[in-house]
Each structure stands twice: as C-alpha cells, then as structure tokens.
Amino acid sequence: MSQREEFVRLVHQRRHPITELCVAFGISEKTAHKWLSRFHEEGVAGLADRSHVPHLAPHQISSRVRREITRLREQHPSWGARKLRALLARTSPEITWPASSTIGELLRREGLVRPSRRRRASYGAPLDSGLTIARAPNDVWTTDFKGEFRLGPGPYCYPLTVLDAQSRYLLGCTALLSTATVPVKVVFTRLFERFGLPEIIRSDNGVPFASSLSLGRLSTLSVWWIRLGIRPERITPGHPQQNGQHERMHKTLKAESTRPPSANLRDQQTRFDRFRREYNSLRPHEALGQREPASLYTPSARNFPARLSAIEYPAHLEVRRVGGNGMVTWEGRKFWLTRALSGEDISFEETEEDTWIMNFGPLTLGTYHPPSNIFLPETCWKKDDRANS
C-alpha cells in the first residue's frame, strides 16, 4: 500500500512520465490507472491490498531421452551440455541421463551447436582491489545498467540490474527510459522492501551511482544508501572485470532477452521478468555447483525502515546542515562542499587548534580550517565504522 501511495504522489508531481513510473514500480498502465481511479474515488483507503492470483509455470518432462534433450536445448539455445544434463537430472532423477560429453555429441549431430572461437581468459579475480568478498547472501549486492538499446523505432531502454554477489540471485531487472535518479531510487526502494538491506552495494562510477564532479564521487543515490546503513563500493574506473560475475550475467541477459528488442517498454519488461524467473529458479549455475540461485539466496534480516531517521552525532560535536546549493555556513562564512549532501547534517570535530575534521555519518569528508575558510577534501570510511557502515 505504501508503494501505491508513493506512486500516486509521484504521478501528481508531474515530474516523470507515467509510463516510466509504471516500469519503475513494475506495474502496467492499466494497473496504474486503476490505482489512480481508486484513489480519486476512495482516497488512501482505496489503495489497500487486494488478493493476488499465483502464477505457475511447471516444466513438462518428456519420456524419451533424445527428444527431451533436443527439446530442452531448443528452449535454451545458449545452454551447454553440462547445464542441460544438470537440469534434466534434477527434474527427472528417475531417468539415467547420458554423460555431458554424449549430450554434447548428440547436440552436434542434431545441428544444435554452432562452433565458436575459443578465447583465452584475459582477467582473473582481483585480490588487491580492496573490494569486499561476499561470504553470505546480502553481504554485497552488485548493480549496473546493461548497455542501452532502442526499442524498435521507439525510445531507448536502459535495463537496471541488481545481483546478489554470493548467491548470484538476480534481485531485479527493470527496463527504464533513462538513468535518472528518481526512477532508480524507486526500483531500489521496491527491492529493499522485498529483500531487506544489504551491507554493501557495488557499482561502477557512472550516474546515478556516482558523480565524477562531486566530493568523494558521492551522488544523491549513494548518499541515500549511506543514510540507510549501506556502504557504496565502486570498482576502479575502466575495470569492469572487477564486477565480472555481473558482466557475465549481462551477457546471458543480452543473449536471451534483448535479441531482437521488443517493440515497447512493457513487452521488454515482460521478457526481463521471464528471464529473471528462469535465471533464479531454473537455470543451473556452474559456479554454484550446477545449483540454481534461488536455492541459496535468503532475504536480509535488516529491514527497510518506514521512515529515514536523522543521523545521530555525539553531543560534543558541532553539527551543521548543508544548504540546498551545497554550501556550508560556519560562523557567518560559507564554503563549498557538494550538492550531493544538500539538506544533510554533517559534524565537525576539532582535532587541534583551528582544525576540524568533517564527517557525514560513517564517512570522513576532509578537514576545515576556519581562519582561512579552506576545506581540504579527503573522503574515506572511518576505520571503526567501516565494517558496520
């Protein structure tokens, strides 16, 4: 119900097309107009939850081994012999399935395999990049935009994807019309409400995850994450291999749900939803021992708060609020900080005479020297808060 109220509020603000809001909230335009009609007729009470009809898509198993193998391959043309065998063995354990090599030979004889060039691996797992190793679900979520593509003769589609690093569970794949902050924030709100809060969200350095011209490359979105107790973590610019498993998922996403592109955003989202269900609950993953991500993922125990509470600082610290233009006022004098922290409270802690360390929650921003009115940026996570930020 809170999502419906937020949707109605954003529609009435008239800042974003209703089509884009529908995609961000994961609803059709028909459902959107139904919500708006109920709100106009009954007020907030008209947005109360209604019953939902469950969706079932059971997989039918053929009794003939050869026919079942070729049929499954035709359904999943990008799957290899080992994935096909893993799924067949899991869904029909009473049948003795041939070895993966035999299945591969059968696929070649049936003309269901196209020869491809072997390519030597160029990158390994970075050990000295400072990136966090995910040891349990929700330790690290990774996020990115799959490269934009045009929907037929219409607008461009920007797929926003979010993946749990430990279980490979695809938390969300949403077709958006842009990389604007508001629709992305709406998508993450829905994910947080459904799956809880992760410890870390890893991204590249593009908008809206980061801003190259901002202090510490902070963005409005990453500041919101920090307020929620989530630590933004960024890969090194120009090194997408540091987010390798996310990029690998994008390769499969592109092959199975974007070629050819759909005619409109709604149809494309339907394909993304189908891909997500299959990726999580059906497709065997070699990195997981041919298990599916849904068998490993569990939601976070950290719930999304109904209201964002203010950051609490120790009483001995000086607290100032960043202005809407990114300026900070200290004893009548102003200095520039960053627009990303507009409206946020920051603390000042005196370390020596006329030298103050500035913090935003668990993040150290830099030092300020009042006599010269000079701010020296030096953004880093406070050591004692890094593990809990």
- If the chain, 389 residues long, is cut into consecutive pieces of 10 residues, what is the mean pLDDT of each piece? 77 78 80 84 75 42 68 85 87 83 77 57 36 94 93 91 96 95 96 97 92 89 95 88 90 91 94 96 91 96 93 93 92 90 94 87 91 87 56
Assigned token pair, 49: 């939850």
Q: What is the pLDDT of residue 30?
A: 86
* 67 torsion bin: left (phi>0), alpha (psi -120 to 50), beta (else): alpha
pTM above 0.75, yes or no: no
Hunting for tokens 């070729």 — which residue is that?
Answer: 70
Distance CA 366, CA 215 (A): 10
* Cis peptide, bond prior to residue 260, ω within 30 of zero: yes
Nearest to 342 by CA among 362, 327, 360: 327
Is the Cβ–Cβ distance between 298 and 284 less than 8 Å? Answer: no
Nearest to 147 by CA among 156, 163, 161, 158: 158
First to last CA, the chain: 30
User: What is the Cα gyration radius of the chain?
Assistant: 25
Q: What is the pLDDT of residue 340?
A: 93
Measured in degrees and rounded to the nearest 5, phi and psi for residue 290 equal: 65, 20
Instruction: State how far the alpha carbon of 64 is from the alpha carbons of 10, 58, 80, in Å.
Output: 54, 18, 20
**Residues in Cβ contact with 299 at an 8 Å cutoff, skipping those fewer than 6 apart:** 137, 138, 194, 195, 196
* Cis peptide, bond prior to residue 208, ω within 30 of zero: yes
* Residue 63 CB coordination number (10 Å): 8
Q: What is the pLDDT of residue 64?
A: 62
Q: What is the pLDDT of residue 388?
A: 41
Name the H helices within the chain.
2-13, 18-25, 29-42, 65-75, 81-91, 100-109, 181-195, 220-227, 244-257, 265-281
Instruction: State how far the alpha carbon of 281 is from the alpha carbons of 27, 58, 200, 363, in Å.
Output: 22, 12, 24, 38
Distance CA 296, CA 260 (A): 32
Q: What is the pLDDT of residue 62?
A: 41
Nearest to 183 by CA among 8, 22, 344: 22
Q: For CA atoms 131, 134, 139, 144, give the dihedral sign.
A: positive
Q: How many helices (H) and strands (E) are present in the chain, helices listed first?
A: 10, 13
Is the Cβ–Cβ distance between 217 and 211 less than 8 Å? Answer: yes
Instruction: State how far the alpha carbon of 289 is from the alpha carbons of 35, 82, 102, 271, in Å.
Output: 44, 11, 20, 27
Beta strands 345-352 and 333-336 are unpaired
**Residues in Cβ contact with 170 at an 8 Å cutoff, skipping those fewer than 6 apart:** 161, 162, 163, 249, 276, 279, 280, 293
Q: For CA atoms 96, 101, 105, 107, give the dihedral sign.
A: positive
